[in-house]
Amino acid sequence: MSINRVNISGNLTRDPDMRATANGTQVMSFGVAVNDRRRNPQTGEWEDYPNFVDCTMFGSRAEALRRFLTKGTRVAIEGKLRYSSWERDGQRRSKLEVIVDEIEFLSSRNQGQGGYAPQQQAPAQSGYAQQPQQQPAYGQQPQQASYAPQQVPAPAPQAPATPPQVDVYDEDIPF
């Protein structure tokens, strides 16, 4: 019995390339940089050595995820290895790539250059307003936050918002 499963996490090295096969199946290709830690024999220090892994994803999920993946996005990937070889200009070539089954976003858009960012929640309203705090100078004690009672007006009733129409189907959602 053999097992062909791969789990990696790293950053995308380039924006995904999208293409279609002759029968119309969407194919997304991208690269992921994964670090390998080793001790430098001369200095004795631990150093990161990058490994660059080619990844491929197929189908409608690939098409749906393409808009969320950009260079620098941190992702975790689960998939399987696929070996392919071919001949170009009289030379034999080969590569080992990961066929992506599952992908998880590990960074948000406000962290670096890509990824998915959930919408921020509005701060909770309370009957007290907090005074802005300043950072104490080095060696000083921090000041306690002061709270002052304040009337908070009730929010005006709003008409229920209708969600925007989106062309996304259940099979397009990556989770």
pLDDT in tens, 117-141: 433 444 444 444 444 455 555 555 5
Percent helix, strand and coil across the chain, each to the nearest 5: 5, 40, 50
Least confident range from 23-32, 92-101, 127-136: namely: 127-136
d(CA 53, CA 78): 13
Classify the phi-psi angles of 44: left when phi > 0, otherwise alpha if psi is within -120 to 50, otherwise beta: left
Name the residue type at position 87: E
What's the pLDDT band for 115 if we cut at 50, 70, 90? very low
Return the closest-CA partner of residue 173 out of 102, 114, 111, 110: 102
Q: pTM value?
A: 0.59
Note the pLDDT of residue 131: 47
pLDDT in tens, 30-83: 999 999 999 999 999 999 999 999 999 999 899 889 888 999 999 999 999 999
Share of the chain above pLDDT 90, in %: 52
**CA 109, CA 119: separation in Å to the nearest integer?**
11
Domain annotation for the chain: domains and CATH numbers: 6-37+47-114 (2.40.50.140)
Q: Give, for 52, the enclosing helix (H) or strand (E).
A: strand 46-58
- pLDDT class of 173 with cuts at 50, 70, 90: low
